[in-house]
């Protein structure tokens, strides 16, 4: 496994791989890898000759009062996991090289990024789109793999790729959950024993909503209310949003839910830890 730190070297290496006719797949991550990330590597490996993963905690996607400094980091362990799971190249750029002094260019998706997490994290998707555009131009992948856990992020990236004509196929891999149902997330490491126990209620609440739907209930507000009610029963959990949206456009569903197309997404504070989860009806 190769570890590349320099932008020029990564770019040159990708050009050379492309000249050799190799298909490149790419999994951008912020590190602190868990089984969710590793499942993305599996998809990537099936899709290509060479799998590149990047590890970079992207300052541009954190708000001024968010957890950039505390965000968990474990590069050595991450590299070992990448090695074990057959990643070919890990791109480990330096913050000073990706965002040097005087950095000033940003990519904004202005529609799908507005609702849901866009309300409470107003510059999050600007940061995500910017770093992904940069990484796409450096790594020049044929395929890039994102996780359904960040459903809105995946939809926004897809829209950016389409609007700006990046020649990259976007794949989205299913959410990987802990045994009790909690969606895997690097931020779960923030949870103490009691928070961890209560956090599972988020997924349980989503499942209760889906149960209503599966039992024939077609009233969106009734389903969302059920989910909010179940989450709010736990004192530790505070709902940021619970919404039903079209899974591609992120537009709110007000009337007809369409099977396989309606996404129920939520963000919840578990004490001071912000968790998100979603499922498709």
Using left for φ > 0, alpha for ψ between -120 and 50, and beta otherwise, residue 31 falls in left
Per the residue annotation, which of 13, 19, 34, 37 is the catalytic one?
37
Q: In this complex, which beta carbon is closest to its own copies, that of residue 139 or of residue 273?
A: 139
Q: Which of 3, 5, 108, 218 binds its own copies (CB under 8 A)?
A: 108
The enclosing H or E element of 206 equals helix 193-214
The residues, any chain, with a CB within 8 Å of residue 222's CB and separated by 6 or more, are 212
Q: Which of residues 148-167 bind its own copies (CB under 8 A)?
A: 159-160, 163-167
Q: Which of 46, 106, 194, 214 binds its own copies (CB under 8 A)?
A: 106
Give the alpha-carbon dihedral of 232, 147, 93, 75, to 10 degrees.
70
Please confirm, yes or no, whether 34 is among the known catalytic residues: no
How many residues of this chain interact with its own copies, rule: CB under 8 A? 29
The answer to the question of residue 110 lying near its own copies (CB under 8 A) is yes
The edge-to-edge listing of strands for the beta sheet with 262-270 is 237-246, 262-270, 273-280
Cβ contact 236:193 at 8 Å: no
Cβ contact 176:129 at 8 Å: no
Cα–Cα distance for residue pair 1/80, rounded to 1 Å: 10
The answer to the question of residue 23 lying near its own copies (CB under 8 A) is no
Q: In this complex, which beta carbon is closest to its own copies, that of residue 113 or of residue 278?
A: 113
Least CB distance to its own copies at residue 73 (A): 24
Assign 172 to helix, strand or coil.
strand
Least CB distance to its own copies at residue 151 (A): 17
Tokens representing 125?
């998707």
Q: Which of residues 223-262 bind its own copies (CB under 8 A)?
A: 249
The answer to the question of residue 92 lying near its own copies (CB under 8 A) is no
Name the residue with tokens 């990484």: 135
Least CB distance to its own copies at residue 160 (A): 5
Q: Which of 2, 84, 120, 137 binds its own copies (CB under 8 A)?
A: 137
> Taking the chain, what is the end-to-end CA distance rounded to the nearest angstrom?
40
Q: In this complex, which beta carbon is closest to its own copies, that of residue 89 or of residue 160?
A: 160
Q: Which of 63, 103, 211, 229 binds its own copies (CB under 8 A)?
A: 103
Q: Which of 47, 78, 88, 109 binds its own copies (CB under 8 A)?
A: 109
Using left for φ > 0, alpha for ψ between -120 and 50, and beta otherwise, residue 90 falls in beta
The answer to the question of residue 105 lying near its own copies (CB under 8 A) is yes
Q: So which residues are the catalytic ones?
A: 37
- Binding interface with its own copies (CB under 8 A): 7, 11, 15, 102-112, 129-130, 133-134, 137-138, 140, 159-160, 163-167, 249
């Amino acid at each position: 496994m190769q570890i590349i730190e320099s932008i020029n070297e990564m770019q040159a290496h990708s050009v050379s791989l492309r000249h050799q006719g190799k298909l490149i797949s790419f999994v951008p991550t912020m590190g602190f890898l868990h089984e969710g990330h590793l499942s993305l590597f599996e998809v990537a490996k099936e899709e290509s000759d060479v799998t590149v993963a990047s590890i970079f905690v992207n300052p541009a996607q954190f708000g001024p009062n968010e957890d950039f400094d505390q965000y968990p980091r474990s590069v050595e362990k991450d590299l070992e996991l990448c090695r074990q799971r057959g990643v070919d190249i890990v791109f480990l750029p330096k913050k000073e090289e990706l965002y040097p002094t005087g950095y000033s260019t940003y990519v904004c998706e202005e529609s799908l990024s507005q609702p849901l997490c866009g309300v409470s994290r107003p510059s999050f998707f600007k940061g995500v789109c910017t770093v992904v555009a940069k990484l796409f131009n450096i790594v020049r992948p044929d395929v890039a793999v994102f996780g359904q856990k960040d459903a809105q992020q995946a939809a926004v990236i897809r829209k950016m790729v389409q609007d700006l004509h990046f020649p990259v196929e976007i794949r989205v891999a299913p959410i990987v959950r802990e045994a009790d149902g909690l969606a895997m997330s690097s931020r779960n490491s923030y949870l103490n024993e009691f928070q961890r126990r209560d956090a599972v209620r988020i997924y349980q609440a989503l499942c209760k909503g889906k149960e209503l739907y599966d039992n024939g209930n077609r009233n969106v507000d009734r389903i969302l209310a059920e989910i909010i009610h179940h989450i709010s029963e736990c004192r530790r959990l505070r709902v940021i949003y619970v919404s039903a949206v079209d899974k591609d456009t992120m537009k709110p569903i007000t009337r007809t839910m369409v099977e396989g197309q309606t996404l129920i997404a939520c963000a919840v504070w578990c004490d001071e830890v912000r968790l998100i989860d979603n499922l498709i009806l």
